[in-house]
Amino acid sequence: MKKKTKVLLSLLLVLLLAIGCGIAVFQYTQSEQDVATIQKQTKKKPEKWNTKVEKADYQQDVDRPNLKDLAAFQQSKDYETWLKKAIGEIKIPSLHLQLPVLPGTNNHSLQVGATTYRENQRIGQGNFVLLGHNMGKSGVLFSDLNQIKVGDRIQLTIQDQQATYQVKEKKIVSEKEGQVLANTQDARLTLITCDKATKTTHRIVILANLVQA
């Protein structure tokens, strides 16, 4: 009787392990599908760059999405609506990164691409600041920004203007160090994202000089 009980318990344990592994595999597969969907969507661009910027886009709070929510948003009609707001794009060849640039940092624009920090930012005039989400997955939004190196080139297109910047510095700062957002006399590009794909108090900051406009 004891032997039969041990056998039954062993079988039950194996079954539970199998079910647990099955759930883990499903979750991993679903996560990879979400990443593939996001990578495909972020390469899209509108037929033409938007020239009308709405002030309201700069006046919203920001939450952190998860991969599942991000993938769902990028397959929705809302995504297509927000993509049409894009005013240009950013490319970092060394990271194989290509994202639309949207005016205003808010929940919707951050799920489409990189976003401008200030209204009326202009290439070649002061500090051009772009922000983006770090989702912890290669090829998704600004997740690869930690891999950029000093000397790498960044190509920026805003409406009818194009410019090339060269990375001069990469650093991690506290979220309270707001001076990296301040405007400057020299023409530069500043890219900012979280240093981790979880709740964090620090940011990765990339500083780049204008080399061609």
DSSP 148: -
Q: Which two tokens stand for residue 212?
A: 């061609």
CB neighbours (10 Å) of residue 79?
18
Spatial CA neighbour of 102 closest among 56, 137, 70, 37: 56
The residues, any chain, with a CB within 8 Å of residue 22's CB and separated by 6 or more, are none
Does residue 133 have an active-site annotation?
A: yes
Spatial CA neighbour of 131 closest among 186, 68, 57: 57
Does residue 21 have an active-site annotation?
A: no
86 touches 102 (CB < 8 A): yes
Helix (H, G, I), strand (E, B) or coil at 120: coil
The catalytic position among 21, 108, 133, 202 is 133
Helix axes 2-41 and 67-74, enclosed angle (nearest 10):
40
Integer-rounded Cα Rg, in Å, for the chain is 21
- Residue 110 to residues 60, 115, 183, 194: CA-CA distances in angstroms? 11, 6, 21, 13
**Residues noted as catalytic:** 133, 194
